[in-house]
Amino acid sequence: MLDAKAIQADFPILQVEAHPGVPLVYLDNAATSQKPRAVIEAMDTYYRSYNANVHRGIHRLSEAATAAYEGARVRVARFINAPDPDQVIFVRNTTEGINLVAFTWGRANLRPGDEILLTEMEHHSNIVPWQLLAEEKGAVVRYIPFTGEGLLDLSRLPELLTGRTRIFSFTAMSNVFGTINPVQELVAAAHAVGAVTVVDAAQAVPHLPVDVQALDCDFLAFSSHKMCGPTGIGVLYGKRHLLEAMPPFMGGGDMIRRVRLEGSTWNDLPWKFEAGTPSIAEGIGLGAAVDYLSAIGMEAVHAHEQFITDYALEALSEIEGLQTLGPPAAQKGGVAAFTLEGAHPHDIAQLLDQDGIAVRAGHHCAMPLHHKLNLPASARASFYLYTTTEDVDKLVAGLHRVRQVFRL
């Protein structure tokens, strides 16, 4: 098991008090993770020592910045076992990665009557882009339902995934239930009917080993800020033959090979999809985050989170009136969303904050999921490599105080 208490020492913010005399207990990692000192220092060093634009300059600073930025791409490719760094496209976040696929591959290939298959447990970022595309192209969006346990109802797959399906886009791990979906199985089923697959891995890549070649997915997107890296940068992985056939997403500098008044030609991968000055410091920070997680080992991160989640679910089950959402710990990542009878999730979060405990409250950008459950919102505690059993104990104590305040 990981020594989560020792790991906390790598994260400056975890040494900060939430309120005077009240230690911070950070349990909102599904929204964003905290950043280790190594990431903060890597970005600081760039700005202090070799700040310059990348790719265009031939002076020392630019060459150093380009080497660091492109070196981060290499490390990201290795982290997800991409065949080539050229297949790693830097975007702002998972949302932009999914939109890139929808508005390039989707616009070029969808026809009226084609179908897009999603699931009912998707984040809005993996619903809205496809709804916009379907409206524009005259396509139909269909959804795989989830069961009462928060698992995909795969018995419906044969009727929903058919020869009419052109795109099957789904989450590798639910940000509400925490459900870890059978990505390899779903990708194989999609390919059997000729559909292209898009995997929302925002919650998966930070928490468990991901191998894009083993999964055989066509596209996979994730965000830096959920995996110890900075905000403002994410990754879209794609198979080479698809990326090369797709039109650019945005026009401007760096994504062109040649510009004439009569027309333009496009740059090679990955820069064809990276118009304008990129998020250089953020890319370098992501590279440092990948180094940090790689040194610890993603198998170890996943094992620790499963232990913590199992511990948390058992402890939460003893609180009267509390109902957790999703499957058992063995089938989910480090997420424990819940409701407490008689207390609104926003009130729960506010009272927990007084005890220094940071959790999320709301619909977690998954309104259709909550609507199906007939819930306006839920509270969510989410864990990471630095979460300890003591953190969970404080959460449970805080929830008992919530019950006392509301006289439940």
5, 13 Cβ separation under 8 angstroms: no
Give the helix/strand (H/E) hosting 395: helix 389-405
CA angle 335–91–240, rounded 5-degree value = 100
356, 336 Cβ separation under 8 angstroms: no
235, 88 Cβ separation under 8 angstroms: yes
Q: Which DSSP string corresponds to 197-221?
A: EEEE-TTTTTTS---HHHHT-SEEE
In angstroms, rounded to a whole number, what is the distance separating the alpha carbons of residues 276 and 250? 9
Local structure of 242: helix, strand or coil: helix
4, 197 Cβ separation under 8 angstroms: no
> Which candidate in 31, 132, 365, 396 is catalytic?
365
Long-range pairs for 312-319 at CB < 8 Å and ≥24 separation?
Answer: 312/336, 312/381, 312/383, 312/392, 312/395, 315/392, 315/393, 315/396, 316/396, 316/399, 318/396, 319/396, 319/399, 319/400, 319/403
- List C-alpha distances in Å: 387 to 76, 361, 407: 24, 19, 30
In angstroms, rounded to a whole number, what is the distance separating the alpha carbons of residues 245 and 268? 11
In angstroms, rounded to a whole number, what is the distance separating the alpha carbons of residues 98 and 364? 18
Which positions ≥6 away from 222 have C-beta within 8 Å? 94, 97, 201, 202, 204, 205, 206, 234, 235
Is 228 one of the annotated active-site residues of the chain? no
Catalytic center residues: 365
